[in-house]
Structure 1
Amino acid sequence: MRGSNALFAIPLLLFLSCTAVHAQDTGNLVGQIRLRNGSFPAERILITLQTRGATLNSMYTDNEGRFGFYNLLPNPYHVVVEDENYEPFHQVVIINPTVLQTTQIHVVLVPREKPKPESPPAAASGGNPHLVNLAEYGKKFPREAIKEFEAGVKADESGQSEKAIAHYQEALRLAPAFYPAHNNLGIRYLSKGDFAAAENEFREVIRLNQEDAQAYFNLGTVYHLTKRYADASQTLQEGLKREPNSAPGYYLLGSVLSRAGDFPAAERHLKTARDLDPKMSRVGIELANLYLRSERPQEAIREFENFVQLYPKDPLLPRVKETLKKLKRSTQ
């Protein structure tokens, strides 16, 4: 099952510690897009932020479906996705920085139904045999469990996290081996910061579905967030054995090794991630972080300069520019 990546933006950015703190009267909105089966969209998705009937800003997600809007005044905002491949998505989000500086949103997209071909194509070879649709789940699991799972997905789509958790738990009561429910339940726990519960769910996904590379990436992310870097490295490498061309996998592994102090290996893996996906903007930031940790400021400056040139619409651009300015001043 391809969709098991974590919801958190990994890794945290080192350079943010030296940037100016946001004014207390503005807030941030960050989120991540997934499909209803838990996987990422194959393409970047355009996210539009509207307020009072007008478009305030728009951006494309990164390769793991993440997006962010920053320095927002207190207001209700409308998060909108209108993509020809998916059903329209619209959700109202209240930004109130006096209560919560950064608001998170979980976007679940439903693919539009496509006309069936007159003769079905031959099955693709080399794919994950556990990537199945709900019709195929019906061959393995009780109908009642599938109905609970679908109800959980719908609750996720409407932002009702606790209701989604209850449905996934009921699906697992009816069918303990229903690994898609374990996966989605783990994602919900992870988004709440309940790392122990998330770890248990992702371990169970791997036990039931051992060839799922993304399940290893998920578990590795939990280890990363809880600073168990040796466990994270080993788990992420297991994922890469199963999906050796995963740019996000190499990115996560490089980030973990950078925090563990293995700078040569971290640099190698991060550069591999960039080779596999040159559009993954966060790789350059993580490389710059690595160079700062390893006292190579000139190389960090080059990475930040490349970021400014290559990603002029990235929401992190203002903070990168500010950091770059301070870094140049400190090295003169």
Structure 2
Amino acid sequence: MRFTWAAQMSACIVMLAAATANAQGGRFEIEGILLHADNTTCQDCPVTLEAPGGVPVATTLTNGAGSFTFKELKAGTYIIRIRIDGYEEIEQRAEAGVFGSPRGFYALTPRRAAPGAAQGDRVLDVSKSLERYPRDAVEMYKKASKSVEKNKPEEAVQRLEEAIRIAPDFYDAHLSLGKLFRTAGRLDDAEREWIAAKDLNESSAEPLVLLSALYTERGAFDLAVQAGEEAVRRDSRSVPALLNLGLALYQTSQWRRAETVLKMALDLTPDRGPIRLLLANVYLKQRDWDNLRLQLDSYLRENPDGPEREAAETMRRQLDQALAAGGRND
């Protein structure tokens, strides 16, 4: 390999696999993938985009790969809201206008009724029996769930804080309170609650997946790696955990480890597009042109209508041009 060829390749456009905000004439996009707990994608599932204050902006359905896209957005903060019967409601903040932000991966959690609850009652992220907690704390927790349904987040926060005051070891309340803080942009408070949750439940990967994503958003990539590693130790088949860890390893220049982790994720989900593109960037950093080309070709073959197809085609052409300029035509 000649130095000039390597230098030309290093100048190739770097396209982060999960880029979710693409500027087009001052307009932007927000993208995401919706997964079931077993890592299968949710097809034809409704996803709503809201402006701050709960004002609906648009609603769309996921495609066959579980992906959704909101286009032609002004730069700013939005809320992704997903309500599907039988599953916990998802409410997550998303930013439009920040190039290179990770694509959102959203996991559906089956809803479980609390012991003795009516069939129609909804609760927040119940991952184990509530019987161990004081009755007053459980009642406050259930009221917080109804506050969320009524789009009263401040009231929900107060009720969850009261539930935790009564029962400091209330795992589900800590986890849910952290999500509300995250949606409100209170990142330090969200971090505190998720740290408490991961210490209280040493088998659940969810608080660590959330922490890893939070640290990546902050640019605290070493912490993101630590949280991601622990999340994968707890659940080695969690695609969101593997993707978060892979992205954090990429950001810390741990190319080999990122490659290994992302290949694990590649085998666990039918929606491989975002993983292939992130792998392409890993191979670009490693100057592994053959595997870079393989991932780009696989992405283009598997995603004829993929949201990053145009950028992938551009990168593929630049790869061929750089190889030809360096005297390599294979």
TM-score normalised over the length of structure 2: 0.65
Secondary structure (helix, strand or coil) at the match of 1:69 reads strand
Question: Which residue is 1:14 aligned to?
Answer: 16
The answer to whether the 8 Å contact 1:288/1:304 transfers is yes
* 1:255 aligned residue (242, 247, 255): 247
The answer to whether the 8 Å contact 1:156/1:164 transfers is yes
RMSD: 4.5
The answer to whether the 8 Å contact 1:61/1:67 transfers is no
Cα distance between partner residues in 2 of 1:152 and 1:32: 27
Q: Write the mapping of 1:1-332 to structure 2, written as runs, cut at 5 A.
A: 14=16, 21-24=23-26, 26-30=27-31, 40=37, 43-45=40-42, 46-48=44-46, 58-60=61-63, 67-71=68-72, 86=86, 131-132=127-128, 136-137=129-130, 139-157=131-149, 159-297=151-289, 299-325=291-317, 328=320, 332=324
Deviation at 1:287, TM superposition (A): 0.5
Percent identity reads: 22
Deviation at 1:246, TM superposition (A): 2.6
Secondary structure (helix, strand or coil) at the match of 2:237 reads coil
Secondary structure (helix, strand or coil) at the match of 1:232 reads helix
In the superposition, relative to structure 1, how do residues 205 and 256 fare at CA in structure 2: closer, same or farther (>3 Å)?
Answer: same
Deviation at 1:327, TM superposition (A): 5.3
Cα distance between partner residues in 1 of 2:18 and 2:41: 25
Cα distance between partner residues in 2 of 1:156 and 1:106: 21
Cα distance between partner residues in 1 of 2:305 and 2:140: 40
> How many pairs were matched up?
277
Cα distance between partner residues in 2 of 1:301 and 1:167: 53
Map Cα deviations across residues 3-35 of structure 1 (whole Å, 9 max, x no partner). xxxxxxxxx962688x972223x453556769x
Cα distance between partner residues in 2 of 1:106 and 1:152: 25
Deviation at 1:259, TM superposition (A): 1.2
Deviation at 1:263, TM superposition (A): 0.8
TM-score normalised over the length of structure 1: 0.64
What stretches of structure 2 of length at least 5 have no aligned partner? Answer: 1-13, 49-57, 114-125, 325-330
Cα distance between partner residues in 2 of 1:174 and 1:255: 38
Cα distance between partner residues in 2 of 1:190 and 1:316: 28
